Amino acid sequence: MAQENNQPPPGFRALFNGRDFSGWFALPHFDPRKWKEMSDEERRQRKEAEWAEAVKHWRIENGELVNDGQGPYLTTEEEFGDIELWIDYKTVPRADSGIYLRATPQVQIWDPTEEAKFRLGADKGSGGLWNNSPGAPGKDPLVKADKPFGEWNRFRIIQVGARTWVWLNDQLVVDGAIMENYWDRSRPLFPRGFIQLQTHGGEIRWRNIFVREIPPDEAIRILRRDDAQAGFTPIFDGKTLEGWQGATDSYEVKDGAIVCKPGKGGTLYTTKEYGDFIVRLEFRLPPGGNNGLAIRYPGEGDPAYSGMCELQVLDNEHPRYARLDPRQYHGSAYGMVAAHRGYLRPAGQWNYQEVTVKGSTVRVELNGTVILDADLSKVTEFMGNRPHPGKDRTRGYFGFAGHSDPVEFRHISIKELE
């Protein structure tokens, strides 16, 4: 339970000290990509102008941030990625507000009794990811958990990648839904960004704003904590290569992980074939590391061409890879479809990846963010004009396409889909 009086509980720090606006600036609804494109001087001038307007609408009273429902949004000077956030708020009738995460709208706050906004979903209560697409998971809260006017409400929000969990007054209202990128729905949510307190009509008060940045190992545990309940079966025992075939001499098991031996290569793949499936695994790249996931591999040939595809596993930021084709970077269906970049952890850290293969589609979720969602049956342009004869395969083995680097894989589990 979060502490009161703006004093953070262990492991958290306060974003609001209860006395002044330290750590905050003012910015309205504004595309964060344009903010990053501005010069330091342009940002300084914009901050100065917005703050002059903000002080007309924001004040501090009895250790509470108070907004009259107008003016620019209070915005953290810091940017955040994976976090746990606690925040208390209290509204008045017809108030409409929200919390921007990574400078993106928003965890919704509004008056659940305002009939004029029932058509927008107000009757379902606060806490939903209101700017998600209609019908998308998380757009509407799972339950209505708002307290009556005059009482304080408390949010607990966990965000890992784009995966978002929201509790309102101790009730789960969003359960691990992907938060969409409002600013460009063709791209995933930004890796990092500001937290903003929205002003959108009606007085709102805030207090006890606490944040905890989630380290990578904990982020992985959060993302895959439902493995057993969701029907995933381990396909690596953490000790031996039992159940695997192919280039077994090129791989070894070290510290609970399958590791490609330095200077060795070839494809290590399962003894069982799969059609449609979801695979979950963790991997760690050495600097400049290169490997790949063999999808529906036939047991011979180059998995990037003879199989449905090879999903690249690569240290994107290493200088040796600065000039690759976009379809060669991490998560890409090699030579066919490029994955989004910027979501890979630095070399030496463990990453979590979930791959869903269904029919002709491949979906890659890296550290909680979907970086590839492609239908390979629609691919007609290939890197180097080299066709991929195996891309329409409907069954095959799952494996690793070793490329001489000691890339590590662990906690590998799979779920077959009907």
Q: Are residues 187 and 241 in the same domain?
A: no
- Look at residue 278 and give its three-state secondary structure: strand
When pLDDT is cut at 50, 70 and 90, the band that residue 225 belongs to is confident
Q: Are residues 293 and 332 in the same domain?
A: yes
Nearest to 125 by CA among 101, 156, 150, 147: 147
Nearest to 27 by CA among 193, 150, 166, 191: 193
Q: Are residues 351 and 401 in the same domain?
A: yes
Give strand pairing partners of 184.
none
Q: Are residues 332 and 273 in the same domain?
A: yes
Report pLDDT for 240.
97
Q: Taking residues 343-357, report their average pLDDT.
A: 98
Q: Are residues 176 and 227 in the same domain?
A: no
Percent of the chain exceeding pLDDT 70 equals: 100
Asked, for residue 23, whether it belongs to a domain, the answer is yes
Q: Is the pLDDT of residue 4 over 90?
A: no
Q: Are residues 27 and 158 in the same domain?
A: yes
Give the least confident one: 188-192, 229-233, 328-332. Answer: 229-233
Q: Taking residues 372-379, report their average pLDDT.
A: 98
Question: pTM for this structure?
Answer: 0.96
Q: Is the pLDDT of residue 92 over 90?
A: no
Asked, for residue 1, whether it belongs to a domain, the answer is no
CB 398 within 8 A of CB 267: no
Q: Are residues 196 and 236 in the same domain?
A: no
Report pLDDT for 201.
84
Asked, for residue 294, whether it belongs to a domain, the answer is yes
Asked, for residue 146, whether it belongs to a domain, the answer is yes
Percent of the chain exceeding pLDDT 90 equals: 91
Q: Which residue has the tokens 């695979």?
A: 279
d(CA 313, CA 116): 50
Q: Are residues 161 and 254 in the same domain?
A: no
Asked, for residue 8, whether it belongs to a domain, the answer is no
Q: Are residues 276 and 160 in the same domain?
A: no
Which tens digits make up the pLDDT trace of 50-75? 999 999 999 999 999 999 999 999 99
Asked, for residue 4, whether it belongs to a domain, the answer is no
More confident residue, 93 or 300: 300
Q: Is the pLDDT of residue 2 over 80?
A: no
What range does the domain containing 78 cover? 13-214
Q: Taking residues 35-46, report their average pLDDT.
A: 98
State which of 214, 232, 264 marks the end of a domain.
Answer: 214
State which of 214, 243, 271 marks the end of a domain.
Answer: 214
Q: Which residue has the tokens 């309205």?
A: 28
Number of domains in the chain: 2
Q: Taking residues 109-136, report their average pLDDT.
A: 93
Asked, for residue 7, whether it belongs to a domain, the answer is no
Asked, for residue 318, whether it belongs to a domain, the answer is yes
Which tens digits make up the pLDDT trace of 325-338? 999 999 999 999 99
**What are the structure tokens assigned to 151, written together?**
């009482």
CB 189 within 8 A of CB 343: no
d(CA 81, CA 347): 18
Q: Are residues 69 and 186 in the same domain?
A: yes
When pLDDT is cut at 50, 70 and 90, the band that residue 1 belongs to is low
Q: Are residues 291 and 365 in the same domain?
A: yes
Report pLDDT for 289.
96
State the chain's mean pLDDT as an integer: 96
Q: Is the pLDDT of residue 23 over 80?
A: yes
State which of 214, 231, 248 marks the end of a domain.
Answer: 214
Q: Are residues 34 and 178 in the same domain?
A: yes
CATH of the domain at 364: 2.60.120.560
Report pLDDT for 277.
98
